[in-house]
Homo-oligomer: A and B are copies of this chain.
């Protein structure tokens, strides 16, 4: 069944299991590097059974990506034009960092897609993402012109928040290896560091 709305409890359970397994696999190997057999084995279902719930490998990927963009933009949507400028931007950074901690696979899925030139996400980037970014960049520009925070390129400011926070999900292996302790949690120190970085940048 290729229906978007699961009809039975079995459908609900298995679709979740498939998407979860597919997220594991796609986020690590990208679309072309992933196979239905890997997803089947990871989900515990048979390959023909995957294709009973989704019409194709591409359909599974699209389903993951289409759900992703919404989640991805949530922290930015919450940036409040009426809040305290510096506090709002720092809170946004913290929400993005929290997403990297709790949803690292989603971050990697996104990174993989962009690395490949965003073949299946171009529309969402040109649409939702660009529109929201334009809107919030304008808000930030307003704050700067009003002298509430220091001047800086608003788009590159947003890029830097994306880059710095997602780095801790996408380059997790590198971060942990360089820090030496594979088990230790790098996020507390990262948060402190990033708070200082942006606090100094934005202080007039």
Give A contacts to B, CB under 8 Å: 27-34, 108, 111-112, 114-118, 122, 125-126, 129-130, 133, 150, 152-153, 155-157, 159-160, 162-164, 167, 170-171, 173-175, 177-180, 189-190, 192-194, 196-197, 200-201, 203
Task: Give the residue of B125, B155, B174, B180 whose beta carbon is less than 8 angstroms from that of A118.
Answer: B174
12 contacts between A and B (CB under 8 A): A29-B32, A33-B116, A111-B115, A114-B173, A118-B173, A129-B177, A130-B178, A152-B193, A152-B197, A156-B193, A159-B171, A160-B167
Q: What is the bound-complex CA distance between A133 and B150, given in angstroms?
A: 32
Measured between beta carbons, the chain B residues less than 8 angstroms from A203 are 200
> Chain B CB within 10 Å — which of A108, A174, A177 has the most?
A174
- A117 and B163 contact, Cβ closer than 8 Å, known pairs A178-B133, A189-B156, A193-B152: no
